[in-house]
Structure 1
Amino acid sequence: MNKAIIIGAGPAGLSAAITCAQKGLGVLILDEYMKPGGRLLGQLYEEPDGSWWNGVKESHNLYNQAIELGVQIQLHTSVNNIEKIDREWMVYTEKETIQTNHLLIATGAAESPVPVPGWTLPGVMSVGAAQVMTNVHRVKPGERGVIIGINVLSSAIAMELKLAEIDVACLTLPKMNELTLDAAHPKKVMNSLLHVSHMAPSPLVKFGSKFMKNEFMKNIGVTFYPKNGVKMWDIPIQLRKAVIEIYGDAQVEGVLLATVDKNGEVIKGSEERIAADFVCIAGGLYPLAELAAVAGCPFYLVEELGGYVPLHNDRMETTLDGLYVAGNITGIEGAKVAAAQGVTAGLSIAHHSGVEGVEAEITESIRAIEDKRDNAYIQFHPDVKKGKEIIQEKWGEYEKSANDFLFK
C-alpha cells in the first residue's frame, strides 16, 4: 500500500497522521528530532480558565493516539531532498528513498538570529533553546539570565523560566542597527506587546494597556516609560534599555546595558553592567519552508505570517499535485491552530486518496481552524487573519490563471 508521508512530528504532522489513519490510510511520519511533538514539547502556560496547557502531555497524547492507529513514526531521520518523478513524490533521507503519492510538509518554524557583540560566548542561546532545556530536558540554562528581544515568544518563555525558579534579570531590547530595526524600536515593540497584555499578571498593566489605542497615547507611553521597566511576573520589561554587548572571558558573565531614547538610539554615558551567567536571544520565528521551496512551490512574503510562505488554499493543498502543507510553515501561529490545520490536511489527503464522504468534514475542519485562530490565547502576529486573506487572494489569482490557461 502506498503510504502518505508526513515530514514533521509536531502538532500539525501528528494530527494529520491521526486523521489519515482514522480514514484507513497507511501513514509514515519522518522527523529529525529524538522525540515527537516539535515545538509543542516546550510549551507550558496557564489558560484563561485556570487550567494548564502542558505541551509535553499534549505531545504524548497525540503520539500514543497515532501509534494505536498504526501510524509509523521514524525519528532521528532527516529529509535531505524531495522531488516529483512522474506521479510520485520521492523523499530522500540519509537512510533510504521513499515514494508516495501524498506528501505533507509540516516542518514548523525556526528562530531568527539577532547578532549581538559577544553572542559566540558559551552561555548564549536562543530563547527557544532555553525553553527546551527547561521544559523538555528539565535542565536549567543557568541561574540568572538576560533575555534580549521583547516579543510574544520571549514574554511567554520568560514566564516559563520563572516557573522553573530561574532568575530572569530583565527582558530588554537589542541595540538598534540595520538588522534589528523594529525589534529595537521602543514604540513598535510596545505595539506588539499590547496584543499580549492579557497575559500580564499585573491588573495595572492590563488596565493601562486599554488606554494605548491611539498614536498620541502610544507616544506618551513610550516617552514616559520607566527607565527601569515595568514588571511582569516580577521580571522587568525594559523598553527603554538595550544590550550593546555580552561580556565574559570563557563564558557569559553579564551584559552591557544602555538607556535608549524613544526612537531606540543609545544615550551615551548611560551604560551599566548587569551580571548574568546565561543570555537568551529572541529574534522571533519564521516558517521553516526550505523543502517546499525545493519541491517548486511558489512563495509569497507575508509579514503578517512571519515571512515567506508557500502558496496554499484553505484545504492545505499547494499548487503541486499530491503536496500539502500544515502548521507553522503556513504562518506563525500556536499549536492548537497547527493541530487544526493538520486535521484539514489529513482529510484532504484522504479525499484525494479516494476516501468518500469527507467533503462535509473538510468544510467543518476549515471552520475549526478559524475558531482556534479567533480564540488563540497567544497570537504571535496580531494581523495574522489579514495575512491569511492575502494568501487566499493569491490562491484565487492562481486558480484563475490556471483556468484561463486550460480554456485557451
Structure 2
Amino acid sequence: MLTRAQISDLKRDFAATERGDDAPFPTEYPDSADGEPVYHVEVPPRTAEAPPAMLGEWDAGDRCGVPPPREWLLGNQFCRNFLSGLLAPGATGKTALRTLQYLALATGRPLTGQHVFKRSRVLLLSLEDDDSELQRRLAAARMHHEITPDDLRGWLFCATPKGIRFADMKDGGMVRGPLEAMLRQVITERRIDLVGLDPFVKLHGMDENSNTAINFVSELLVKLAIDMNIAVDVPHHTKKGLQTAGDADAGRGASAARDAGRLMYTLTRMADAEGETFGIPAEERRLYVRLDSSKVNIAPPSGEATWFKLVGVRLENGTPDYPQGDEVQTVVPWHPPRTWDGISGAQLNAALDEIEAGLPNGQRYSDKGPAKERAAWKVVQRHCPDRTEPQCRQIVNTWAQNGLVFNEEYDDPIDRKQRKGLRVCHGKRPS
C-alpha cells in the first residue's frame, strides 16, 4: 500500500521506462487502514513488442503471369519508374541535347533520331539558368527544328526555381526539401510523364562526396518516379580530367548517384582519332559529340555511339544596343561516314588487282605501318577517293584479318633483300 506521493513518483518513473510516455499508468484505487486513506497499485503486465511493419512478401507460385512491359518514353533514355542521367563536362552540349530530347517527347516527333514511344508531358526545371536563358535555349531548338507554339502548349512546362531544395540538411539530419512536395503537386495537376531536373548538384544541399547523403537524395528521386509513375531525369556534371566515352564513374562526387540511376549515359566530344577516321577537320571536332550508354542494365546496350552535331542558331532578337542579337546552340542527329558504305565491288576489286600486280619497280605493297611508298592503303584510296586514310587502312586490315590479302616473302629488286609483301587470295574476292 502506497501513499499518494509514492504513487505520483511511481507514475513518473513508470512513464519514463522503455514502455514510453504513452504507456498506461498503474491503476490505483482507495482503501483504508487505521483511518488513513491508502492506495493499492496494480501494474499492468508488460506487453509484447510492437509487431514489425509488413514485409509484403509474395509467393512466386501465385504470380506466374507476365507483367506488362516497361513503359519507355524515348529510346532507351527515359522510362517510367526509373531514374535517368547524363554525365558530361561543361560546354559539351549536355543541356542542348537534353532540351531537344524533352522537346521530342513533348511534340511526339523523333527530333533526335530516337524513337518516341509515346507523346509525353514534360516538366523541365532549370536550376542554373533563369527564365530568359531557358527561353533562349528553347527558342533556338524551336526555330531550327520548326516547332510551333501549338506543338508545345499543354505538353511542356518549365520552371527555374533557385534556392529551393529537393533534399537538404536540417539540425544535423537529412530531410526532404520543399521542392519535393512542390513537384508532386505539379506532377499531379499537370499529369506529367517526365521530370527533368538540371543539374543534379543544384538539386540538394548535401555533401556531394558523401555516399550516405547522395544515396538519400537518389532514393527520394527513385521514390518520386515510382510513386508518381513517371520518368525522372537528372543530368550531372563530370569530374575534372580526361573523359572516356561510356565511363559510368565519370560523374563528380559520390558514386551513389551512379548506382541509383538505371539509365545512365555519357556525352563526350569527338576525339582526334575519331575525327581523323571520319575526315572531320581538327577545328570542327568540338562540334561533334557522342552519346554512349554507361549503365543500361534493363535494356540491351546500343552497339555503337549515337552522334550529334552542335549547331548555332541566330535568334534574330537584336536591339539597337545589341544589333547582332543572340546565337544559341541546339543539336541535330549526325551519322559518321561508314567505312564500307557506298563502295562498289568493282572499286574494291580494282584496288585488289593493283595490290596483286605490285609496284611497277617490282616491289610489293605492304600493310605494315612504316611502309610509305609501298603502303597498300594508298592503293585503296586511289580507287575510293572519298575515304580517309584511317578508313582505307581499316579496309586493308579487314582484308588481312579475313585472309583476302596475305604476306608472302619475295626478293625485293630495289633493296636486294628478302622481304614480305602482299598477295591476294582470289577465292575470297568480293563478288
TM-score tier after normalising by the smaller chain length: under 0.3
Q: Which has the higher contact order (CA 8 A, sep 6+)?
A: 1
Q: TM-score, normalised by structure 2?
A: 0.25
Structure whose alpha-carbon radius of gyration is higher: 2
Q: TM-score, normalised by structure 1?
A: 0.26
Per residue, is there more helix in 1 or in 2?
1
